[in-house]
């Protein structure tokens, strides 16, 4: 099987690497608007060759879209316009509703499998690609009933071979739950970094005094703005919903602090501790 990976950043590069590591493809071709990304992906051995977009998809059995989420819907349409009945198209973006709506009436919709592998780091670019990146991480497959059976089976087989548990959702549910589990963590981390940068004018103090708790909490603020601005805007209403609740919880804690409400703080933190049942 020949795979074409469109987008050679963290996700696309790691996926290309995983396909090669597990012997799932005989050849991996990469395509990216950035000539530097293409060059680096070749140097790192993430792909066997690179080619312009049209050439990359022409000879591919599997076409994976790993570009910023705001580019995926139109790219998917362009690719579906070109593929035949044997080619499989999959996307790896973290929001799905717009993609599924835009492609819903396309005559080749069955060749598309909409997926969201729940993995990422704060790093970006081909240099950030990781071996074993997806192992043990859940992948969400959306609207599986709209994908042709053979296309769905191909994608399921690949993700299973990478060691990823499969779960199935509607596009609407996927975007909602991603806002709660992933997107709020990133926007909160950006906000915390901005808060510290605004209040702590002495940068050496940030470096010297930042402990493990701060570092782990603010780590996501190093994530690529080019990746995350489209995600926040593309999933705006769900992100706003969870952000309102987050701000509400902060206001509750603030009032407890203002009132020296030790008992309230302890009870609130005990309730937060119950997440240990889920996050082991």
Give the model's pLDDT for residue 215: 73
CB 112 within 8 A of CB 135: no
The C-alpha atoms of residue 98 and residue 72 are separated, in whole angstroms, by 9
How many CB atoms sit inside 10 A of residue 196's CB? 16
Element (H, E) at 141: strand 139-142
Nearest 5°: the CA angle 16, 140, 123 is 45
C-alpha distances in Å from residue 174, one per residue of 225, 244, 276: 22, 19, 23
Give the model's pLDDT for residue 68: 95
Of the candidates 68, 116, 76, 74, the residue with the CA atom closest to the CA atom of residue 92: 116
Give the model's pLDDT for residue 275: 79
Give the model's pLDDT for residue 197: 84
Query: Mind listing the domains of the chain with CATH numbers?
Result: 2-169 (3.40.50.720), 174-277 (1.10.3660.10)
Read off the DSSP letter of residue 118.
-
Say which residues have a Cβ less than 8 Å from residue 201's Cβ, sequence separation at least 6.
Answer: none
Ranges of the chain whose pLDDT falls below 50: none
The first and second tokens of residue 252, run together, are 């509750």
pTM of the predicted model as reported, rounded to 2 decimal places: 0.89
């Amino acid at each position: 099987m020949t795979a074409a990976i469109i987008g050679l950043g963290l996700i696309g590069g790691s996926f290309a690497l995983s396909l090669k590591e597990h012997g799932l493809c005989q050849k991996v071709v990469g395509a990216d608007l950035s000539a530097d990304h293409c060059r680096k992906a070749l140097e790192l051995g993430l792909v066997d060759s690179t080619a312009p977009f049209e050439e990359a998809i022409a000879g591919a059995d599997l076409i994976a879209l790993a570009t910023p989420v705001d580019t995926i819907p139109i790219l998917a349409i362009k690719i579906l316009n070109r593929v035949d009945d044997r080619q499989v198209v999959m996307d790896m973006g973290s929001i799905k509703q717009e993609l599924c709506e835009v492609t819903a009436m396309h005559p080749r919709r069955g060749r598309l499998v909409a997926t969201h592998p729940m993995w990422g780091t704060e790093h970006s670019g081909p240099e950030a690609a990781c071996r074993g990146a997806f192992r043990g991480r859940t992948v969400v497959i959306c609207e599986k009933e709209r994908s042709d059976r053979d296309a769905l089976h191909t994608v399921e087989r690949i993700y299973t071979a990478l060691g990823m548990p499969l779960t199935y959702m509607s596009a609407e549910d996927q975007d909602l739950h991603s806002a709660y589990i992933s997107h709020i963590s990133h926007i909160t981390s950006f906000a915390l970094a901005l808060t510290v940068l605004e209040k702590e004018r002495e940068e050496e103090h940030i470096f010297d005094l930042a402990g493990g708790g701060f570092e782990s909490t603010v780590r996501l603020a190093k994530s690529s703005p080019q990746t995350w601005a489209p995600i926040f805007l593309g999933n705006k209403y769900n992100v706003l919903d969870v952000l309102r609740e987050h701000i509400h919880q902060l206001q509750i804690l603030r009032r407890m602090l203002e009132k020296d409400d030790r008992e309230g703080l302890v009870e609130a933190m005990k309730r937060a501790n119950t997440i240990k049942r889920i996050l082991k």
